[in-house]
Structure 1
Amino acid sequence: MKTRRVGDSGLEVSRLGLGTMTWGGDTDLHAAERLVERFADAGGNLIDTAPAYGGGAAEKMIGRITRTHVRRDELIIATKAGFGLRDGRRTIDTSRKAMLDDLAGSLRRLRTDHVDLWQVHAWGHAPYEETLAALDIAVSSGMARYAGICNYIGWQIGTAAAWQKAVPGRAGLVSGQVEYSLLARRAEIEVIPALAAHSMGLFAWSPIGRGVLTGKYRRTVPRDSRGARDHFSWFVEPYLESRSRAVVDAVARAASGLSLAPAQVAMLWVRDAPRVTAPLLGARTADQLEPYLDLDALTLPEPIVAALDDVTGGPNQARPRPEAQG
């Protein structure tokens, strides 16, 4: 699998990342072992996780897998801090204490002395200077190699990145993580330009539209899908409306003409969009992962890309345009 640098940093990751949000719930240890083995065999190295995933179970699984199936030094492990469940409620706490407590817990569960990329999971109520100081501590101490942010909007990215650049010795932000797909292109308005302005990479979560761009929801909600599960139905429902169905139909037509699956077309569109470092795929099984491992040598034809842009909101202003003829 080909690799890309994360922004202007020296960190290099595979062009496809493995997301672990379902681990500890819909994905058990045996399935996770098979996923990571197959991913690593194909040349993938980026695994994205968080303390909130499975209440820490996802990190524990990764820690075990690096002892039994895949060597720690073969992987780029990215985790997060500042978000979790407390008393059954989603809570954001980006204070320095909460952030560093989260990191200590992550290192313990991952059975490692460092993570390759440590990310603020969401913008919180703590002063941003305090939150970002935790990143400085983590990087300067060696507990994290690089620092990034997740789910920030444009002005938040600009504020945080500029603050970190203001004083030599602070940990520069190398990446931002945000939802981005043919069903979610809002990041193109402010988020992606902000990342580009600060030479940061982009990790795109839910690149196949929370599973909707596979086409499996076109007629009904399959009983074995995320949309049919009480704990994930809220995640899928926003894209089960008429506009999304029109996009899915367009992707399916493009896929048919290219002899690809709709999900493969959706993935290629995200992977090769401007500024994207790697999409993060939340495959639940090795079988679900397999179709995406054969895409390394493929790119979508420019007319297909342009058509998909048009049907999902218009041209991507950052995409190179053909020179005028004449």
Structure 2
Amino acid sequence: MDYMKLGRTGLEVSRICLGCMSYTVNGPDAKHGWLFDEEGSKPFYARALDLGINFFDTANAYSAGQSEEVLGRQVIAQVPRDEVVILSKVFNRMRPGPNGAGLSRKAILDQIDGTLRRLGTDHVDVYMIHRWDYATPVEETLEALHDVVKAGKARYLGASSMFAWQLAKAVGIQKANGWAPFVAMQNHLNLLYREEEREMLPFCRDAGIGVIPWSPLARGRLARPWGEASVRSAQDGYTPALYAAEVPEELAIAGRVVELAARRGVKPAQIAMAWLWQKEPVVAPVMGATKPEQLDDAAAALSLSLSSEEVAYLEEPYRPRAVIGFS
């Protein structure tokens, strides 16, 4: 396994981050039919640890906190706490009624305690805002996050999908007030969706913010020939919102991924991951593995280097598209 500093920090993370949304308590009875129950989740955590993956991503809202519970039992309770890097998020609704969601001071201070209780730890390594809260003054949110860090409940802060101007505004406010800064951005980035290359990646590169993209394989569309379905692609209700239309450009890109993989003697997913790793300042794509061997494939892809000609060949069919993934 390769490791890299997360942004302009001293925190070392594996270049693969295991996304833990798929691993919960209720499994198929939960919101998404492709989720694994805790027993079914064990091979994924065991394989990740065997491979040297030390970076784990979850959120308070994943299966209403059950993802955090399983991560706590399968990782935090199994290995020394200082050997793993745990990331969790706050924003989405956790209960009905007022103050049950969002990034108010009340919501943040309540939710960090719930996250720590479910994980079975006294701190998370990275605490991330899951989305931008248009209903709360950003100064209120950022000061509350700073207080979470100063209380020792989080080591670092991160943010997820938003406009680059929003991240720049937040970073400026943090700097002006001497508050704990955002050091990580988890955004939507893959060969089929590259709009983040316009503003977000250059800003993160300049600000020293590490990028940990979600959906690195475009919900599996870059992992297999176009048209082949998986359980997740058939049952994940979010996929049509992200990749609804079979546009010629996407078909062409996916076809080139499969073609190049055959030429190089590797799997399509490995080509798509290798493309991401050469994009600065990408640190660790968040992998939502649904088969343990997918983690082995990703680890093997760390040694795969694409030439500038191959990168250009993969990227050439891309055309600008509407911004997606912010909700």
* TM-score normalised by L of structure 1: 0.88
Where 2:263 maps in the other structure, the secondary structure is helix
Where 2:279 maps in the other structure, the secondary structure is coil
Partner residue, 1:17: 17
Where 1:34 maps in the other structure, the secondary structure is helix
**Amino acid corresponding to residue 167 of structure 2 in structure 1:** I
Partner residue, 1:36: 45
Q: Name the CA distance, whole Å, in 2 between partners of 1:194 and 1:10.
A: 20
Q: CA deviation at 1:310?
A: 1.8
Range that drifts further, 5-14 or 18-27: 18-27
* TM alignment of 1:97-136, pairs within 5 A: 97-124=106-133, 125-136=135-146
Retained in 2: the 8 A contact 1:31–1:285?
no
Retained in 1: the 8 A contact 2:17–2:56?
yes
Q: Is 1:219 matched up with 2:209?
A: no
- The structure in which a higher percent of residues are strand is 1
Partner residue, 2:155: 145
Q: CA deviation at 1:40?
A: 1.5
Partner residue, 2:193: 184
**Amino acid corresponding to residue 288 of structure 1 in structure 2:** Q
Q: CA deviation at 1:72?
A: 2.7
Retained in 1: the 8 A contact 2:129–2:159?
yes
Retained in 2: the 8 A contact 1:33–1:69?
no
Aligned residue-pair number: 308
Deviation readout 1:177-219 (Å, 9 max, x if unpaired): 1010001101011111221222111111111111111125x23
Cα 1:135/1:230, change in 2 over 3 Å: closer
**Amino acid corresponding to residue 122 of structure 1 in structure 2:** R
Note the residue ranges of structure 1 that are not aligned, 5 or more in a row.
Answer: 315-326
Q: Name the CA distance, whole Å, in 2 between partners of 1:123 and 1:289.
A: 31
Range that drifts further, 32-41 or 178-187: 32-41
Where 2:293 maps in the other structure, the secondary structure is helix
**Amino acid corresponding to residue 199 of structure 2 in structure 1:** E
Where 1:195 maps in the other structure, the secondary structure is helix
Partner residue, 2:281: 275
Cα 1:267/1:230, change in 2 over 3 Å: closer
Cα RMSD (Å): 2.0
Where 1:83 maps in the other structure, the secondary structure is coil
**Amino acid corresponding to residue 11 of structure 1 in structure 2:** L
Q: Is 1:305 matched up with 2:311?
A: yes
Alignment partner of 2:252 out of 246, 251, 266: 246
Percent of aligned pairs with the same amino acid: 36
Deviation readout 1:280-319 (Å, 9 max, x if unpaired): 10112313322112122221122111211222249xxxxx
Deviation readout 1:220-247 (Å, 9 max, x if unpaired): 5x3x421211645545642644432221
* TM-score normalised by L of structure 2: 0.88
Retained in 2: the 8 A contact 1:37–1:70?
no
Retained in 1: the 8 A contact 2:249–2:319?
no
Retained in 2: the 8 A contact 1:35–1:285?
yes
Deviation readout 1:57-99 (Å, 9 max, x if unpaired): 11000111135544332210000111135559xx851111111
Deviation readout 1:23-76 (Å, 9 max, x if unpaired): 224122123221122111111111010011111111000111135544332210
Retained in 1: the 8 A contact 2:217–2:272?
yes
